Amino acid sequence: MLELTIDEPDRLVKVAHALSTHTRIGIIKLLLAKPNLNIIEIAEALHIPVSTAATNVKVLEEAELILTELQPASRGAMKVCSRNFDDVRMILNPIAFYQNTSKAVEVEMPIGHFINFDILPTCGMANTTGMLFTEDEPDNFYHPDSRTAEIIWFRKGWIEYRFPKKVPPGAKVKSLEFSLELCSEAPNYNNDWPSEITVWVNDVEIGSWISPGDFGDHRGKLNPPWWNDSSTQHGLLKTWAVDESRSTVDNEKSGMTTLRDLHLDQKPYITFRIGLKQDAKHQGGMNLFGKSFGDYAQGIIMRMQYE
293 and 163 within one domain: yes
Q: Is residue 233 over pLDDT 90?
A: yes
214 and 75 within one domain: no
Q: Kindly indicate the confidence band of residue 86, based on its pLDDT and cuts at 50, 70 and 90.
A: confident
Contact 264, 270 (CB under 8 A): yes
181 and 257 within one domain: yes
Mean pLDDT estimate for the chain? 92
pLDDT of residue 5: 79
Lowest mean pLDDT among 24-38, 127-141, 178-192: 24-38
137 and 28 within one domain: no
pLDDT of residue 1: 73
Give the CATH number of the domain where residue 70 resides: 1.10.10.10
Contact 208, 186 (CB under 8 A): no
151 and 110 within one domain: yes
Whether residue 277 lies inside any domain: the answer is: yes
What angle (nearest 5°) sits at the alpha carbon of residue 214, between those of residues 271 and 26?
Answer: 100
| CA dihedral sign of residues 240, 269, 306, 263 | positive
Whether residue 228 lies inside any domain: the answer is: yes
- Residue range of the domain that includes 220: 103-306
Q: What share of the chain has pLDDT > 90, as a percent?
A: 76
pLDDT of residue 170: 79
Give the CATH number of the domain where residue 272 resides: 2.60.120.260
pLDDT of residue 97: 59
39 and 184 within one domain: no
Domain end position, chosen among 61, 89, 117? 89
Whether residue 96 lies inside any domain: the answer is: no
167 and 119 within one domain: yes
Whether residue 209 lies inside any domain: the answer is: yes
Strands (E), the chain: 2-5, 37-38, 66-72, 77-83, 88-91, 104-109, 116-126, 151-164, 173-183, 195-201, 204-211, 236-243, 247-249, 252-255, 269-276, 286-289, 300-306
Residue 58 DSSP SS3: helix
165 and 16 within one domain: no
Q: Residue 149 and residue 257: Cα distance in Å, rounded? A: 31
pLDDT of residue 90: 85
278 and 211 within one domain: yes
pLDDT of residue 158: 98
Q: Is residue 148 over pLDDT 90?
A: yes
Whether residue 98 lies inside any domain: the answer is: no
6 and 56 within one domain: yes
Lowest mean pLDDT among 86-90, 113-117, 142-146: 86-90
If one compares 89 and 100, the residue with the highest pLDDT of the two is: 89
The total domain count for the chain is 2
Q: Residue 207 and residue 200: Cα distance in Å, rounded? A: 8
- For the segment 41-81, what is each residue's pLDDT rounded down to a tens digit? 999 999 999 999 999 999 999 999 999 888 877 777 788 99
Whether residue 95 lies inside any domain: the answer is: no
Q: What is the maximal distance between C-alpha atoms in the chain? A: 66
pLDDT of residue 225: 97
Q: Kindly indicate the confidence band of residue 99, based on its pLDDT and cuts at 50, 70 and 90.
A: low
Whether residue 19 lies inside any domain: the answer is: yes
- For the segment 199-223, what is each residue's pLDDT rounded down to a tens digit? 999 999 999 999 999 999 999 999 9
Q: How far is CA 31 from CA 28, 38, 65, 67, 100, in A?
A: 5, 10, 11, 11, 33
Whether residue 56 lies inside any domain: the answer is: yes
169 and 67 within one domain: no
Q: Residue 125 and residue 132: Cα distance in Å, rounded? A: 6
78 and 117 within one domain: no
Domain end position, chosen among 59, 89, 119? 89
Average pLDDT (242-266) is 92
Domain end position, chosen among 25, 57, 89? 89
CB atoms within 10 A of CB 300: 23
